[in-house]
Amino acid sequence: MQPLVLLLIREILLPELVALIKARQAAGQPITEAELRAEFDARIGRIVAIGETWLATHPA
């Protein structure tokens, strides 16, 4: 592999990946299945609540 590509991977890609993983950990994103289920349920509830409220205030 070309030195430039290796340099770009080492200097840009890898730090970005590490930062991404740290950000996910810091954001408390789900690790266990129970956490994943809770996040899913919360997201579905949010989509339906916000969407139905918006639709009620913007009737066809």
Partner 1 sequence: MRPPRPSVVPILALLVALVFLATACHPPITITTPQGKVIYAANEVAKRVELLQTAAIAGEAEGTLPTDVARVFVQFSVSAAKTLQALPAGWGTTVAVAWGEAKQQIPLKYLNSPTVATAVMAVDTVLAIWLPVSTGGA
User: Contact between 54 and partner 1 (CB under 8 A)?
Assistant: yes
Residue identified by tokens 């579905």 is 44
Q: Which residue in 26, 27, 28, 32 binds partner 1 (CB under 8 A)? A: 32
Which two structure tokens, joined as six digits, stand for 6? 């290796």
Using CA atoms, how far apart are residues 30 and 16, in angstroms rounded to an integer? 20
Q: How far is the CB of 44 from partner 1 (least distance, A)?
A: 5
Using CA atoms, how far apart are residues 40 and 53, in angstroms rounded to an integer? 20
Residues forming contacts to partner 1 in the complex (CB under 8 A) are 2, 4-5, 8-9, 13, 17, 30-33, 36-37, 39-41, 43-44, 46-48, 50-52, 54-55, 58, 60
